[in-house]
Amino acid sequence: MKKVTDILNTQYPLIQAPMSWLTSAKLVAAVSNAGGLGVLGPNAGQTTVTRDPDETAKRMQSEIKKVKRLTTKPFGINILTPKTDRSVAETRFTRELLDVAFIEEIKYFVVVGTAHQELFNLIKEHDGVIIFRPLTPTIDQMRLGEKYGADVAVATGSDEGGVIPEQDFGTFTVVPTMVDSVDIPVLAAGGINDHRGVKAAFALGAQGVYIGSRFLMTDEAPMSDQAKELVKKSSYDNIYRVSPTQRSIKTSIAEKYAKEEYLNPHNNDLDKQINSHGGVRPGMLLGDFNTGIVSINNGVDILNTVVSVKKLVHSLMDY
């Protein structure tokens, strides 16, 4: 099996997760310069909303150019897969972002969703490397991703921040199962915040790690100072389930959502409500806890310091 560092052309087998509004050229370049693979999320470097695919692509192209000015190391871009019954051409946001990525000669694509043969083929036709992260990791999805050409797969446990897998299985359950199901390297994701978590991931058979929440607590991360302070003061016992697929640190709006989720678990429109209020953008990017949630992994007790990306990467890889 080819080593992850050889596939990614990085010093360490480490990928920074592309966390929607919470990445930027500054963060991504810092991760790549420190030896990992930095990845631009869909709204990297932005604070305002646009629903125009062309404008989204222009913004992404601008952010890609910023990264190139800050590093000569490899970095990647996040691509969300079309629904299984839709083509790439029918999914304009995906198509426009792909076009920009190909123009800018991006090589590394973190593909999130479900395995999609047309999308995988397009990336491979442009000599791209595919890091495939099924939103809900299953043996079937992992094997299908490998069949379609994924170079690396990511096994995500429900300990993660962000959108939680449909199956509520922890990282310790998911990782060895997915490792045993495919012949490509598997990265572990979900609740990995320090070198102990990295070491555990390797013990479970992973060939590397895919980390999101811990990178939010860095000097270079665009998460608001207010959100960083809230995370620093929080512990696992004040993280609420606020929808069928999301959790949040305790805030006024999170308490409201949590009550609704408790009364009608998995039978509600809370994901739709949260998205209509901007998802993580208000709370995590702008520091507005009356409107937005603060989604973080279950290991929040460890997230009690803000450090430089360089210091963090070196400490994570000290396993």
pLDDT digits (tens, 9 = 90+) for 33-72: 999 999 999 999 999 999 999 999 999 999 999 999 999 9
| Adjacency order of strands within the sheet including 108-113 | 14-16, 208-211, 186-189, 152-156, 129-134, 108-113, 75-80, 38-40
User: Which residues 6+ apart lie within 8 Å of 291 measured at CB?
Assistant: 253, 277, 278, 282, 283
| CATH 3.40.50.620 given to domain 4-219+304-316 | no
Give the pLDDT confidence of 73-107 residue by residue, as tens digits: 999 999 999 998 999 999 999 999 999 999 999 99
The low-confidence residues of the chain, meaning pLDDT below 50, are none
Q: Is 47 exposed, middle or buried (0-12, 13-18, 19+ CB in 10 A)?
A: exposed
Q: Write down the pLDDT at residue 319.
A: 66
What is residue 149's predicted lDDT score, i.e. its pLDDT?
98
- In the chain, where are the structural domains located? 4-219+304-316, 235-295
What SS3 class is residue 188? strand
Tokens of 152: 């690396």
Alpha-carbon distance of 319 to 314, in angstroms, equals 10
Phi, psi for 155 (deg, rounded to 5): -105, 115
**CA quadruple 74, 81, 266, 43: dihedral sign:** positive
CA–CA separation, 186 vs 207, rounded Å?
6
Query: What pTM, to 2 d.p., does this model score?
Result: 0.97
Task: Report helix, strand or coil for 132.
Answer: strand
